[in-house]
Amino acid sequence: MHCATCILREVNGFARTLFGGEDARGIIVERATLPPCAKCVPDGNYVSQKYRSIMRQNDVRNIAIIAHVDHGKTTLVDRLLQTTHVFRDNQQVAERVLDSNDQERERGITILAKNISIRYNGTKINVIDTPGHADFGGEVERVLKMADGCLLIVDAFEGAMPQTRFVLKHALEHGLKPMVVVNKIDRPGARPHEVIDEVFELMLDLGANDAQLDFPVVYTSAVSGYARYEPGDDNMDMAPLLDSIIKYIPAPDVDVDGPVAMQVCTIDFSNFVGRIGIGRVFSGTLHNGERIMVVKNDGSRYQANIKDLFTFEGMGRQQATEVHAGDICAVVGIEDCDIGDMFTCRIEPVVLDPIHVEEPTMSIVFAASTSPLIGQEGKIVGGRQIKERLEREAESNISMNIVETEDKSGMEVAGRGVLHLSVLMETMRREGYEFQVGRPQVIIKKDEHGKKMEPIEQAVVDVPSEFAGKVIEIFGSRSGEMKDMVLREERTHLEFKIPTRGVMGLRTRILNATRGEGVLFHHFSEYGPYKGDLGGRQNGSMIANATEKSASFAIDTLQTRGKMFIGPTVMCYEGMIVGEAAKEGDLVVNVAKAKQLTNMRTSSADKSIVLHPPILFTLEEALEYIEDDELVEITPKSIRLRKRILSATDRKKAGRK
């Protein structure tokens, strides 16, 4: 009687159908049930390659927490940490403890995916907190590979939102078992049962299988710190959520005795040990000091030694001598490891599926500053240093494409949206860099017939019903198409499909039209036919004519002719945009003009100067405001708008060509 190895050798394709297959993470597994025969092992020496068995690591759970932005993911993780006593009872802990990045705390959003682990009833639960904003979808896509299930958190009032669809789509594609957590059930106007119906319909629309549609539901209030099986229960702790995770989220289905295989999903960096590769062990056991094969994304291979091995415990990392299949770990010693690299057995290497991330939809050019004020606020101003910094970013951020421009004048950075790009700019300015960027440009493609295709976004707006007409008019002027309209008490829920070009600057217009009460969410949906010219800003710019400090007397005169972007005693230079004119066409102005002083007395007293507060732009607002002939100058202390050509004479000459 032949063994499985014989059959695999003779009828390879059919044997794989009988004895194995490719599991959801791409490991080819040979499920042989018969020991090898003498034909396969003539000398009788059959080493540990005996029929590899697939088994579950029942003491481990790997879950990713996914949701629309601001639906309470990070707050929920805080409560899980407190329930499992990761912190001392008397320990002072900040809110949203996982949002440790300065920008995350300031913006109130999660930007980087983070790993923690908690222990509950003898089970180690690895929790991956993911960003909720569509611009950081690349973080979500790559870390889902480390999980076996996901907690889909949905607001009990808002229900399924655009980003809910985005993250759920990727979770279902990865074969993850979803568990729905309806959060904020104590919020006024909460409708938890209706929200469950919305999620079910969304899963049907996304093609979920029967097992995924049979999802468990837990109702929570992360702020109040309780979870319930039904909204009306009187339970006041998080135990139902933790019990449900252990009961319904599957344990890792791994090849414990097979060759070691791990894929890097996240890169960390330490000044002491260099690059640290973080990922999940898909098969075998990884040992500290072991010599492994590193398989790069381009197919190249080399051998390296693991210098240190860590697992995640609580909020930190714990040194380990070995990590078994199914667990998540951090590997030190692979100097040039990148996201997607595989660490595997030297003798019997395993190849895993590469990590695929959706392509960027928007690009922007970073260049060294050419401002007359260069070097006064920033420490790093050279083009070479900016290029090196962006090349380092390209290594750790696979959702960005960074290449040098054809004329070598700058670096073109392509990302998921204005927020995605602006976070990088903000990080660089805090590191002391000074640079300038142009207007964001959408990435245009062509279909098989040669027709132009542009990125289309799905936008959702919740506004008071009285302003719904104004919002529809604004979207119509940006080539938006309304897809749905739902009345909810005093508010109206609107859904649109709109070109990405039309989204830039849209939030400010909606806030102005709805007196600050409109809420806009949008995310990339698909590529669609090019919608033609959408037009630009109607009003012209007020441009400084000299390098001098602004004066109160000049600003008092100019504010009657438009809106000012600067206050008094601000250093300006020729070509800097200092305000927005009330009419079309640019206006060159003298912001340093002071009142002429004479020794003649007048009968009327000097009028007191009353200056309106200047309009101050955030980085995202500045990027959305500028036109093609303008730039944003970014320094550690300032965000300035300027013309691409500073000299008024040179601008006139360029306009004649």
Average pLDDT over residues 370-391: 91
CA atoms within 13 A on the CB side of 323: 31
- Position 89 scores a pLDDT of 58
Mean pLDDT rounded to a whole number for the chain: 82
Q: Give, for 625, the enclosing helix (H) or strand (E).
A: helix 619-625
Q: Which residue has the higher pLDDT, 442 or 28?
A: 442
Is the predicted pLDDT of residue 38 greater than 80, yes or no? no
Inform me whether the pLDDT recorded for 4 exceeds 50. no
Tokens in use for 612?
């309106």
**β-pairing, 28-30 with 541-544?**
unpaired
Domain at 60-251: CATH architecture: 3-Layer(aba) Sandwich (3.40)
User: Which numeric CATH code is attached to 541-596+606-656?
Assistant: 2.40.50.250
Q: Is the per-residue pLDDT at 97 higher than 90?
A: no
Query: Quick one: DSSP state of residue 466?
Result: G
Categorize the per-residue pLDDT at 602 as very low, low, confident or very high, splitting at 50, 70 and 90: low
Which residues fall within 8 angstroms of residue 600, CB to CB, at 6 or more apart? none
| Average pLDDT of the segment spanning 271-285 | 87
Domains of the chain, by residue range, sit at 4-52, 60-251, 254-344, 445-529, 541-596+606-656
Say if residue 524's pLDDT is above 50.
yes
Phi, psi of 39 (to 5 degrees): -65, -35
- Does pLDDT of 3 surpass 50? no
What is the average pLDDT across 107-120?
76
Of 174, 164, 361, the C-alpha closest to 265 is 174
| CATH dotted code for 445-529 | 3.30.70.240
Write down the pLDDT at residue 40. Answer: 42
Chain centroid, CA 58 distance in Å:
32
Tokens, residue 1 = 């009687």
pLDDT at 105: 60
Check whether 185 has a pLDDT greater than 50: yes
pLDDT per residue over 57-84, tens digit each? 788 999 988 887 777 877 888 888 888 8
State what percent of residues in the chain have pLDDT above 90: 38
Q: Which residue has the higher pLDDT, 624 or 100?
A: 624
User: What pairing do the DSSP bridges indicate for beta strands 123-129 and 60-67?
Assistant: parallel
Torsion, CA 612, CA 582, CA 498, CA 422, rounded to 10: -50
pLDDT at 346 over 70: yes
Angle at 204 (CA atoms; ends 199, 210), nearest 5 degrees? 105
Whether the pLDDT of residue 497 is over 50: the answer is yes
- The whole-number pLDDT of residue 13 equals 37
Question: Does the structure show a pLDDT above 50 at 39?
Answer: no
**From CA 76, how far away is CA 238, in angstroms rounded?**
9
pLDDT in tens, 225-239: 899 999 988 888 999
Specify the CATH number of the domain 254-344: 2.40.30.10
Q: If you ran DSSP here, which 8-state letter would residue 112 be given?
A: S
Average pLDDT over residues 443-467: 89
CA separation for the pair 243, 125 (Å, rounded):
11
- pTM for this prediction: 0.74
Written as one string, the DSSP assignment of 134-165 is GGGHHHHHHHGGG-SEEEEEEETTTBS-HHHH
Q: Rounded mean pLDDT of 525-551?
A: 88
Are 603 and 420 in contact by the 8 Å Cβ rule? The answer is: no
Return the pLDDT at 431: 92
Report, as an integer, the average pLDDT of 322-332. Answer: 91
